[in-house]
Amino acid sequence: MNAWSFAICALAGLSTALGGLIVALQRHPSERFLAAVLGFSAGVMLYISLVELLPEGVDGLEEAGVAGAAMWGPVAFFAGVLLIAVIDRFVPEDINPHEEPSKTGSVRMRKVGVITALAIAIHNFPEGFATFFVALQDVSLALPLAFAIAIHNIPEGIAVAVPLREATGKKWAAAGWAALSGLAEPVGAIIGYIFLKPFLGPASLGITFAVIAGIMVFVSLDKLLPTAIATGRHHAAVYGVVGGMAVMAVSLVLLA
């Protein structure tokens, strides 16, 4: 297993710890800043998914001589969308990982915090798989992807830490649980590597890239953008999206 690829994946996942740290230190970023950063993350993920990962997936299928590669690439893409949508379906609305639960009773807060941590772990599993496999092929491509995932993991850490802090009064323990919830990403990388290593080749990698692209597009459109817009800073969110796409475009040109 490539150490650098795993390290990139682990750091992206454990950024939930930053969300927990924010809660522990009682620091609240401004709505404008949060909207812009979440929008930026969405822009990076959308651009890299549609401009790099999906086309690279189709190229891999063509290189492997798969008939109808131009068709199977999009099929794999939407399979990725379906995969993450099914996972997302099992996360109840009132404990959506990207939303801060309302503060009610301490028993309910403890329950919400624990269930949210579990939901986030399930949600982050395919993200760890995605980051790791991209990093195995191209570290320069994985770095901005990992950065985007890290940014959107911070609110997830906040979502775990807030109810646990309110329920127990132990802010650092709550921050610790937020950090642990991000371990699903490196775990996803390890399990994916163990099971898929024997099958790695142009065709399997092509399908994997297309599936990953679908996962990232769904996360961007279903989680990042709605959360950014919900801050009430619509224009900051949109500017963030465009900025993320622009930075990604420039970085890919420079690294080409």
Ligand-binding site membership of 28 (annotated) = no
**Residue 30 backbone dihedrals phi, psi, to 5 degrees:** -65, 155
Q: Is 96 annotated as a binding residue?
A: no
- Which residue, 221, 168, 220, 212, is CA-closest to 189? 212
The answer to whether the beta carbons of residues 100 and 162 sit under 8 Å apart is yes
127 is in an annotated binding site: yes
Query: Could you count the other beta carbons within 10 Å of the beta carbon of residue 198?
Result: 8
152 is in an annotated binding site: yes
Q: Is 98 annotated as a binding residue?
A: no
Query: Tokens 């500017």 — which residue?
Result: 239
Q: Give dist(CA 51, CA 69) in Å, integer.
A: 17
185 is in an annotated binding site: yes
CB neighbours (10 Å) of residue 46? 23
Cα separation, 175 vs 161, in Å, equals: 6
Residue 66's SS3 state is: coil
Annotated binding site for Fe(2+): 124, 127, 153, 156, 185
Annotated binding site: 124, 127, 152-153, 156, 185
Annotated binding site for Zn(2+): 127, 152, 156
